[in-house]
Amino acid sequence: MNWLIEFAAVAGQTDTLVNNSDHKEFLAVGLLGEVGGVLAEFKKRKREGPAYPLYEERLVDEIGDTMWYFVRLANVGAPGLLAQLSLNVPDSAEEGSSPLLALGAAAGRVLEAVQRSSSDGLRSSLQDTWRCLRAVAAVAQVDLKKASSRNRDKTVSRWPSAERVAHALFDEHCPAEEKIPRLFTVSFIERGSAERPQILLRYKDINIGDRITDNITDPDGYRYHDIFHFAYAVYLGWSPVLRSLLRSKRKSDRAADENQDGARAVIIEEAISAIVFSRAKQVGFFETVQQVDFDLLKSIQEFTKGFEVSVAPVWQWEEAILEGFRAFRQIKDQKGGLVTLHLNARQLIVERLR
């Protein structure tokens, strides 16, 4: 079995819309869209030059995404085609004078063939698309096998086919005083006035952190945003903000203390909380939306590069965000509450204040 067929088998396991009646149309549109992404990366590189350092990484991602839609559509609409395709790097004569334009045109013909329900047209246009994609990859010096491997890792991180196993807590081997407590309860108490409500956090009858308002002209409940840090701690095992509040920084490990628990990590976590909150406001704080868009999750991964949490799979971030907003909606509606963090059980429990 060649690597392209192996990649197609894994891609099939992460296709969440396989039972939709318009599945083939969705794949064709997705292929055209990803080809557009490939062309856009070439455009950005030409326009921005050295001011666009993400070009190579983004191009590999876009080519990998294009291949995912390509192999899925080939398996669905042109059975047996993948085994017939050449995996060799094309020579300069085969590349042609304008492989980028040829790739865009070929992807357009794929969409047209699907629209017309032409099996022969689809097979032919997919063959052209693969030929052009190989040519574009050759020009850009992108290894298609490596691009497919990168895409496989990304999609499995987002949509794992096997049982989900969360990454271990990052302070598992630290002294007890440097671990985030495995089971504890914090009170969210609303104070202030109706015009300017504030949230106070209390842990073991001691105030922790500062009193927080919404810090915005139109009140939106952001004063409860520490619940998101709690969710990150529970579902990711990571929260420099909570470590600071509980004075549980890893002082015995200088590198962890400075690089993982320091001010920069705190700023990154606060930025993620604010950015996700802004997106959540647009979808009703995820009350009826049960997933986080992939682009946002990929942005979070980019923000956290260089920090320990970067190894956490994408699905774990999604779980932390969705569970954090479930708890947020509860304490916001109740105007406070008791929040229990059970890290070993990966549970965040909200109750009314007694």
CB 328 within 8 A of CB 287: no
Chain segment 178-194, per-residue pLDDT in tens: 999 999 999 999 998 88
Q: What is the mean pLDDT of residues 257-284?
A: 97
Q: What is the mean pLDDT of residues 249-274?
A: 96
Chain segment 69-101, per-residue pLDDT in tens: 999 999 999 999 999 999 987 765 454 558 999
Residue 189: closest CA among 216, 226, 218, 217: 226
36 vs 44: CA distance, rounded Å: 12
Which pLDDT does position 93 carry in this prediction? 46
pLDDT over 90 for what percent of the chain?
Answer: 86
**What amino acid is encoded at 212 in this protein?**
I
Which pLDDT does position 97 carry in this prediction? 57
Q: What is the DSSP letter of 180?
A: P
241 vs 265: CA distance, rounded Å: 8
Tell me the backbone φ, ψ of residue 221, rounded to 5 degrees. Answer: 90, 5
Q: What is the mean pLDDT of residues 265-274?
A: 97
Q: Write out the DSSP string of 70-111.
A: HHHHHHHHSTT-GGGS--SPPPHHHH-S-HHHHHHHHHHHHH
Q: What is the residue-averaged pLDDT of the chain?
A: 94
pLDDT over 70 for what percent of the chain?
Answer: 98
> Which residues contact residue 328 at a Cβ distance below 8 angstroms, ignoring those fewer than 6 apart?
221, 224, 225, 227, 228, 285
143 vs 59: CA distance, rounded Å: 11
Which pLDDT does position 284 carry in this prediction? 96
Residue 267 backbone class (left: φ over 0; alpha: ψ -120 to 50; beta: rest): alpha
**What amino acid is encoded at 261 in this protein?**
D
Which pLDDT does position 168 carry in this prediction? 93
Q: What is the mean pLDDT of residues 298-309?
A: 95
Edge-to-edge strand ranges of the sheet holding 197-203: 206-212, 197-203, 183-192, 336-342, 347-351
Instruction: For 52-71, give the secondary structure using H, E and C.
Output: CCCHHHHHHHHHHHHHHHHH
The 10 Å Cβ neighbour count of residue 242 is: 23
30 vs 33: CA distance, rounded Å: 5
Q: What is the mean pLDDT of residues 232-243?
A: 97
Give the three-class secondary structure for 49. helix
Structural domain spans, the chain: 3-158, 176-351
284 vs 276: CA distance, rounded Å: 12
